[in-house]
Chain A
Amino acid sequence: DIRMTQSPASLSASLGETVNIECLASEDIYSDLAWYQQKPGKSPQLLIYNANSLQNGVPSRFSGSGSGTQYSLKINSLQSEDVATYFCQQYNNYPFTFGSGTKLEIK
């Protein structure tokens, strides 16, 4: 199975700041990576697919990058509504696997 190591586990930042969340795959996943946002008590929502493609309706302050085994999610100009847990997920191979999540809070 492909292991997805996500960091940091938690993050506190101020409104307007830029934050980065990292995801490291245990093998090359050829950009077959998605990012999801899960707000408290809600189901996950797709933000990014194919490592850097923004899902329709997602604000442009979210962006994804990376290749091979290393990927990142960047959130520019942090807003209060961005408080959530963020997960990466690889779909290069079954079983599809997720990172353990990054809990983002406002300082």
Chain B
Amino acid sequence: EVQLVESGGGLVQPGRSMKLSCAASGFTFNNYDMAWVCQAPKKGLEWVATISYDGSSTYYRDSVKGRFTISRDNAKSTLYLQMDSLRSEDTATYYCARLDPFWFAYWGQGTLVTVSS
């Protein structure tokens, strides 16, 4: 069974950093591109970033370019999202998702990031 379990969310002050993790199991992690998708409270879904199966390619939405970094450790079957210079508008639940190969076939349960002083 495919499982994606996010962790690392919480309350953080504006301008500070936070790193999210997503532990994957139930599939061969290094065969799949992975992504982060966020959802602000009571709002819609927004794609954040994608990383290729081997980590060689990354893609970001404009609003996080230069502030967020997606990475992966295939030996640990873990996806990461390093979030720097956080803003109040980054407040959201962050989901990791497996791409199959272009649609989000599996989602984690999400981790809430709240940016507030």
Contact = CB atoms under 8 A, between A and B. Distances in A.
Interface of A: 32, 34, 36, 43-46, 49-50, 55, 87, 89, 91, 94-101
B48 to A, nearest CB: 9
Interface stretch (B9-17, B67-75, B78-86, B107-115): B107-115
22 contacts: A32-B102, A34-B104, A36-B104, A43-B107, A43-B108, A44-B95, A44-B104, A46-B104, A46-B106, A49-B100, A49-B103, A87-B45, A89-B45, A89-B47, A89-B103, A89-B104, A91-B102, A94-B50, A95-B59, A95-B62, A97-B47, A101-B45
A16 to B, nearest CB: 29
A43 B110 contact: yes
Contacts of B61: 95
Interface residues of B, number: 19
Interface of B: 44-47, 50, 59, 61-62, 95, 100, 102-110
